[in-house]
Amino acid sequence: MTSTWSEWKRYPKVARGEKLEAPIGPGVFEVRHTSSGALFAFEAVDNLALALSSITSTPKSFASWFGKRDPVASPDLEYRTYATSTREEAKVAAERMIGRRETFMSHVA
């Protein structure tokens, strides 16, 4: 299977009713800060949609049961996905990507 990275997409804001768009199968995801481009998360997973939806989930507090919400400042993030056929293929792709980054960074430094 020949895969390519999806386009960068803004991370959805639940308060605005936005939805996450990601495959329900295995693959690799990358999440970065929109303003700086700094890496926030990177992983090979069994289910891209599930993994991405759990990244910014905040734990519920006891006060939230009574309608009070804890103020949480969610970072401005964007994400992209790399779909694969199997989890093993996703792991191999992620390892290659990490190797390329390390090689690139060793030449830049």
Q: What is the pTM of this model?
A: 0.75
Domains of the chain: 9-57+74-108 (3.40.1440.10)
CB neighbourhood size of 82 (10 A): 19
Q: What is the pLDDT of residues 93-107, one digit of tens each?
A: 999 988 877 676 666
Q: Residue 62 corresponds to which tokens in the numbers above?
A: 């006891």
> What is the side-by-side order of every strand in the sheet holding 77-83?
9-10, 77-83, 27-33, 39-45
3-7, 28-32, 72-76: least confidently modelled range: 72-76
The values of phi and psi at residue 20, to 5°, are -80, 140
